[in-house]
Amino acid sequence: MSSDVVACPACGTRNRVPVAASGTPTCAKCHAPLPWIVAADDASFDSAIVAKVPVLLDLWAPWCAPCRMVSPILERLATDNAGRLKLVKVDVDESPRIMTRFGVQAIPTLVILKDGEEASRQQGAGSRAQLSAWIGRYL
Ligand SMILES: [Zn+2]
């Protein structure tokens, strides 16, 4: 099982968070909810989008300037909503099947999934305030 490393917002301890889990990850040291930020690809995607919290899907690519602008905002929102939101980042250059599956025409495309089903989608970047309000409607 692959995993990603995030810093605990409460104590700063670096923790590995699983790509897939039945619950939500908590800090090994202080037990605070951790920002659940993972990268997924064609192989891990189906297990990555299964979560008991809403999933924010970030479909991006390294060459995409608006993607690089919006990614830190999304990571910040995942941190602000630790324990209530999972951020799944997919590099579409490496995972063309996911791009096809979601019918993505342009990136960044942001998709909110609840119980694995698409609840909302936004194409293009947005401000932190706009994205926070958008995501907040699904938490
Ligand atoms: Zn901690």
Half-sphere exposure in the Cβ direction for 135 (13 Å, CA) = 29
Domain-embedded: residue 30 = no
Residue 105 and residue 83: Cα distance in Å, rounded?
31
Q: Which residues are near ligand 1, the ion (C-beta closer than 5 Å)? A: 8, 10-11, 13, 27, 29-30, 32
Whether the predicted pLDDT of 1 surpasses 60: no
Whether the predicted pLDDT of 35 surpasses 90: yes
CA angle 57/35/100 to nearest 5° reads: 15
CATH number of residue 89's parent domain? 3.40.30.10
Domain-embedded: residue 15 = no
pLDDT at residue 4, rounded to an integer:
87
Over range 31-48, report the average pLDDT. Answer: 95
Over range 78-104, report the average pLDDT. Answer: 95
pLDDT at residue 2, rounded to an integer:
56
> How many angstroms does the Cα of residue 52 sit away from the middle of ligand 1?
21
Amino acid at 29: K
Whether the predicted pLDDT of 92 surpasses 90: yes
Over range 28-32, report the average pLDDT. Answer: 97
Domain-embedded: residue 99 = yes
Range of the domain at 92: 35-136
